[in-house]
Structure 1
Amino acid sequence: MHTENALFEGALLIVLGIMAQWVAWRLRLPSILLLLMTGIIVGPLTGLLHVDEMMGDLLFPFVSGAVAIILFEGGMSLRLKDIRETGAVVRNLVSIGVIVTWVITAIGAYTLLGLDLQISLLLGATLVVTGPTVIIPLLNQIRPSGRVSSVLRWEGIVIDPVGAILALLVFEEIFVTDLQQGIAIAVTTLISTLVIGLVIGIAVANITIEFYRRYWVPENLQNAGTLMVVIGAFALSNYFQAESGLLTVTVMGIVMANQRRFNFQHVIEFKESLQVLLLATLFIMLSARMQPESLLLIASPQTLLFVALIIVVERPLAVFISTIGSGMSWKERVFISWMAPRGIVAASVASIFALELANAGHPGARLLVPYTFAVIIGTVIVYSLTSGIVAQQLGLSERNPQGVLLVGASEWVQQIALQIQAAGFRVMLADTNQANIELAEAKGLETYLGSVISEMALDEINLSGMGRLVAMTPNSEVNALAAEHFENAFGSRNTFELRRPEHDRRGGISPNIGGTPLFQEDTTYDYMQTQFMNGAQVTTLSATLFQNTPDVLPLFVVTDDNELHIWVSSNPPRMLPEYKVIAFTNLNCTPETFVTTRLPQLQMS
């Protein structure tokens, strides 16, 4: 391919990938669907994109490296504290569940699709993985209660290297004729993959942490340095044992995310931006490689029946076997069984092994990719359209969740969080200040250490039971951007921010960006902090006592039917005697700052 053509197709790939994700964001659709459709249009339908000619021999090394970066970022989104109650369930899903999924999918491929036994087993192994890049946005949208979110997040990321290893074992067995030799190869491969993946992953992660902690790497090189380390560890691991690199990078991500020696937040923000580009290019490239006749296979009745088998039979059976004796309710088990979309790892593994089989002259190689893409498309469509309805019918998705995500963890914000928690509502504090977070955790509060305006925050924060965001950091821009960032998750009516100082109102931050202004006029961060430093405290009062207490600033109202209302001066909540008020008391009021007479008269009925 001429350089000009390669440059044009490369630019087209990036432009279409980002545009497809933007359209998906605007329409609130899973981006994977638009990316796959885009790839099919520019590939087999129109022939605008010639991926094999453009990339040449670098195609699958690029695909493998990109998947490694995505899994590393996925590993960095996992928190060990989220799995304390559900670790056994996740373990069973990525072991027993994988075997059940593999066997049933292989049987379905053999009987329904007419594939030979070898390709059926390989297709089954390829499809045991789920897609965290699809699951996590769905969970953020549905916000299911209970333990299902942490189970699905952990399963979606941990199962990816497990599935890749299983696919490798099956692939190697295809070319083995002696049973005893095949068993020996499988055992040796499995042990070496686990040992090499774990050892290199843990070692490289800890070395990287120490280099950064001791400032042996300047901050301006840490993003690029982390990318270098991830790709280097992935390649080194694969050099010693094929496909062990995915386990290595996943372990690296988990280790780095669950330590307190160094804050990788800026690295995470860089990786998430890179992930957007990688996902876009990968899905379009891989789907564009399909042949026109493959599209007929995807839409055939046998394929649709195969997809239905995976959704209706395989997944529920794998989940119910894996959760026996787990203590999970039947509703939680049903919802988990109805959430297993496939994603980029399945597409990548299928494409890589299909090429290897084609090079070896295997007649079934051309069928592996179209059937994999059929399952990806089918599962994403079904789960994205129905999982929210299923969660509501099971009572796992609250129609009006009352929990609050507090952005900022200053000491007075922690006092607010403690009062909200004492009232029986879920509350989480998010801050980039590690000292604030550690102090909040010591008080028994749920926390998130990181920037909420990053895409990673939407992936990492469990929004189950959360209905509102209240931004109360010292930075007005962060408050506004946090409210804007979570608008899709909570809705514009449920994002709030502290009043902006006069200089921020005059310039710098558009009034069209951000959430509803909190509390009363002049309740900026500086005002709240000053009052707290002068002795103000956050207290819960009865409505009657609140009405008769001087020098008090209302913050939240707790109703008798267990609803939490945020106090906004432009639309103050209705009050009844049996209600309670979370308020700032003992205010050091002055005429220049705030006086109680500026409060509207409460309605006592």
Structure 2
Amino acid sequence: MLMLAAGFIAGPITGLIDPEAAFGDLLDPMISIGVALILFEGGLSLDLRELRHSGKAVWRLATIGVLVGWTLGALSGYYIAGLVWPVAVLFGGILIVTGPTVVIPLLRQANIQTRPNSILKWEGIVNDPTGALCAVIAYEYFRRLNEFPNASVFDVAPPLLIAAVLAGLIGYASARLIAWLFPRGAIPEYLKVPVLFIAVIGVFVLTNQIEHEAGLVAVTVMGVTLANREVSSMRSIHPFKENIAVILVSGIFILLAASLKWDELTYLQTSWRPLAFLMALLFLVRPATVLISLLGTDIPWNERLFVAWIAPRGIVLVAISGLFALRLGELGIAGGQILTGLSFAVVVVTVIAHGFSVDFVARLLKVKGDTRPGVLLVGSTPWTVALAKEMRAVGTPVLIVDQSWQRLGRARLEGLPLYHGEILNEATEHNLDLSPYQVLVAATENEAYNALVCNEFAHEIGRDMVYQLGENEGSESRTSLPESIRGRALFEDGFDAGAVNQRIADGWIFKKTKLSEEFDFADAQEKLAEDASLLLLLRESGTLRFFTHAVRPKPRAGDTVISFVPPKSAQKASL
């Protein structure tokens, strides 16, 4: 929304930016390549193992949903928006897209349960190239109709579908080639990112020569294929490609919004039809499409209704609409110029309606994930088991992960949530939903392993939210690890794993103290023994703030202080 607002201000309102004058004929290719890279990046986030729980729903939305959505969108465009049939049919095909550039960040922020999250993510990425192909089919049909009045859709659709399949095969073969070259050292490590992106652009341009917009199919297939191949280099590439996607999304939104002309918005200002069409899109077309598509599936009704409501549109809708608005004008079909303004209206209204209501609707339909930030404890030790019990007692989601079933025995006896497996194994990412856990504490007795875990998850969770115990001062073979690869050291005193586990054996416990206006942090400290150690603050919102050797959070009224105290301190507090 901020990018759209910036584009409107810079373009139609103030005239500071005129993208068409600045870039000329390069504007459309720039936007097309940007959209291709965005879809490729989205494809890299799709893992086929997610389809175990949502595959049937995704398949139906990608087949039945496409036909139903196209039909209802075209009918709404003709009867409600007042578009002529060719424009209505073409726009109905474009409206199939649900915008992964908007859907994925929205789902990440709203913390939705795994299955509806997976359905919406897959639908958004898979249906983007599908919507583009539907628009191409409609355009080619009406173009053929201009030349041959007796032409039918069956004269147009098969060649286009064959071109889409061929483009998908080229994308698949290109991904397999990259997956073969990268692990064998054929490409130097520092060149893997540019080679990958040049390959994506090359595949997109090549397959677009086969048929317009077929390149979107190719790059999407390419991304999904690479995401499901064992390519170790892709893990190091992920941060860069995500940053590139954010920059492209922001830039393209501004350029497209700045490209608007006031005469393209006249239709929206002078008629009741656009508003009625937008309401029909929100409350009729999308719900009917989803509910009809998911009839007979085992998806619960609350999840169906949630998916039926969430369908924000994004860059692909605007980019494709602008492209075909020009092509319809070249065919002499009236009304094509309306598409640009109407597509922007669809983006603005759906982003506002769905973006600002997603949290409320998710709570209402009970598809919200854990709302309180959780703690992921790596390593099952006496100390982590005691900490997990304390976290559970204050209502914070917690999970203990360890690859040893024997070490997990204590956690099993306490009935604590646990996962048996290697946290660094790629399979763990697909077998375990890590989204509820915003804090990671690596507390095994192997300091180097703890640092490796923290460094691996720093990008996903945040460098400031990965912690480990202090360095093992008692080890003769201790080598000090660089701070850049370590997690933040818990406790101001920097206790190591051996020290905290020994203290647990000596009877140390965790103690929680609620702060208020009358009983502040200084009062709480007076209740503790001198050798007690402060561990964390729990805000009323559930946010966790740890005391470390480098950071001391500022306590305030309403916070709960959790400290690690010796038995005598616990007795003193009880007195």
TM range (shorter): 0.7 to 0.9
CA distance in 1, matches of 2:150, 2:378: 59
CA distance in 2, matches of 1:69, 1:418: 47
8 A contact 2:311–2:354 mirrored in 1: yes
Match of 2:206 among 203, 215, 236: 236
Counterpart for residue 522 of structure 1: 494
The one-letter code sitting in structure 2 at the alignment partner of 1:469 is V
Shift of 1:71: 0.5
Does structure 1 residue 81 correspond to structure 2 residue 81?
no
Q: Deviations over 1:102-133 (max 9, x none)?
A: 11121111122211011011111111101112
8 A contact 1:196–1:241 mirrored in 2: no
CA distance in 1, matches of 2:133, 2:409: 46
Q: TM-score, normalised by structure 2?
A: 0.75
8 A contact 2:168–2:217 mirrored in 1: yes
The one-letter code sitting in structure 2 at the alignment partner of 1:522 is G
The one-letter code sitting in structure 1 at the alignment partner of 2:425 is I
3-state SS in 2 of match to 1:570: strand
Kindly tell me: are residues 216 and 120 of structure 1, through their superposed partners in 2, closer, same or farther at Cα, counting changes over 3 Å?
A: same
Does structure 1 residue 447 correspond to structure 2 residue 429?
yes
> Residues 407-446 of structure 1: matches in 2 within 5 Å?
413-414=402-403, 423=415, 425=417, 436-437=424-425, 441=427, 446=428
8 A contact 1:192–1:241 mirrored in 2: no
Shift of 1:428: 10
The worse-fitting range, judged by mean Cα deviation, of 290-299 and 231-240 is 290-299
8 A contact 1:409–1:429 mirrored in 2: no
> Residues 112-151 of structure 1: matches in 2 within 5 Å?
112-151=80-119
Shift of 1:332: 0.6
Shift of 1:145: 2.4
Does structure 1 residue 570 correspond to structure 2 residue 534?
yes
> Residues 247-262 of structure 1: matches in 2 within 5 Å?
247-262=217-232
8 A contact 2:171–2:221 mirrored in 1: yes
Counterpart for residue 154 of structure 1: 122
Shift of 1:271: 1.6
The one-letter code sitting in structure 2 at the alignment partner of 1:135 is V
The one-letter code sitting in structure 1 at the alignment partner of 2:31 is V
3-state SS in 2 of match to 1:229: helix
CA RMSD of aligned residues (A): 4.1
Does structure 1 residue 55 correspond to structure 2 residue 27?
no
The worse-fitting range, judged by mean Cα deviation, of 170-179 and 379-388 is 170-179
Counterpart for residue 335 of structure 2: 364
- The unaligned stretches of length 5 or more in structure 1 are 1-32, 450-460, 488-494, 538-546, 558-567, 575-594
CA distance in 1, matches of 2:574, 2:462: 37
Shift of 1:522: 3.0
Identity, % of aligned positions: 31
- The unaligned stretches of length 5 or more in structure 2 are 382-399, 443-449, 474-478, 513-531, 539-563
Counterpart for residue 309 of structure 1: 280
Q: Which has the larger radius of gyration?
A: 2
CA distance in 1, matches of 2:249, 2:117: 23
CA distance in 2, matches of 1:427, 1:357: 57
CA distance in 2, matches of 1:117, 1:68: 29
Shift of 1:160: 0.6
> Residues 168-317 of structure 1: matches in 2 within 5 Å?
168-177=136-145, 178=148, 181-298=151-268, 301-317=272-288
Does structure 1 residue 100 correspond to structure 2 residue 68?
yes
3-state SS in 2 of match to 1:175: helix
CA distance in 1, matches of 2:125, 2:455: 30
8 A contact 2:82–2:273 mirrored in 1: no
Kindly tell me: are residues 403 and 294 of structure 1, through their superposed partners in 2, closer, same or farther at Cα, counting changes over 3 Å?
A: same
Counterpart for residue 561 of structure 2: none
Shift of 1:398: 4.8
3-state SS in 2 of match to 1:81: helix
Counterpart for residue 64 of structure 1: 32
3-state SS in 2 of match to 1:49: coil
Match of 2:366 among 373, 395, 398: 395
CA distance in 2, matches of 1:428, 1:374: 49
The one-letter code sitting in structure 1 at the alignment partner of 2:206 is L
Q: Deviations over 1:162-215 (max 9, x none)?
A: 111111101111222257633233332333233212210111101111111211
CA distance in 2, matches of 1:413, 1:273: 32
CA distance in 1, matches of 2:409, 2:296: 35
CA distance in 1, matches of 2:233, 2:460: 24
Counterpart for residue 491 of structure 1: none
8 A contact 2:75–2:88 mirrored in 1: yes
Shift of 1:381: 0.1
Does structure 1 residue 324 correspond to structure 2 residue 295?
yes
Q: Deviations over 1:395-437 (max 9, x none)?
A: 2215645754468999975458897799464869996xxxx41
CA distance in 2, matches of 1:368, 1:119: 8
8 A contact 1:101–1:318 mirrored in 2: yes
Does structure 1 residue 550 correspond to structure 2 residue 518?
no
Shift of 1:485: 3.0
8 A contact 2:256–2:318 mirrored in 1: yes
Shift of 1:285: 1.2
Shift of 1:241: 2.3
CA distance in 1, matches of 2:509, 2:490: 10
3-state SS in 1 of match to 2:439: strand
